[in-house]
Structure formats: structure tokens, C-alpha cells
Amino acid sequence: AACLAACPMGIGELTAIGGPECVLCGRCVQACREGALRLVIRP
């Protein structure tokens, strides 16, 4: 998938987004053609 290929950290599973390897850069969100991902910052 394009979203996984865009990850600079090489995270291979969408379930790992937000995990310790993820730096929350948002590149997967921008690359996702289906719009299935979004980054929400909560207070």
C-alpha cells in the first residue's frame, strides 16, 4: 500500500502507527489514497 511505502521509519503494519517506532510524521496519512487514515491531536 502507498501509505506503508511512504513511512520513513519502515513501519510495516498500520496497527503500529502511534506505537514506539512511529514518529507521527503524517506521511502515511498524506499518501493514503483511500482517505482511511487521519491524524488527530487530542488535548
pLDDT, mean of residues 14-33: 82
What is the pLDDT, as a whole number, of residue 20? Answer: 85
What is the pLDDT, as a whole number, of residue 14? Answer: 67
pTM of the model: 0.69
Percent of the chain with pLDDT over 70: 88
Residue 31 has pLDDT above 80, yes or no: yes
The structural domains of the chain, with segments of one domain joined by +, span 1-43
CB atoms under 10 Å from CB of 28, counted, come to 24
The grid coordinates listed for 36 are: 482511511
Angle CA 24–40–27, to nearest 5: 35
What is the pLDDT, as a whole number, of residue 19? Answer: 79
- Say which amino acid occupies 18: G
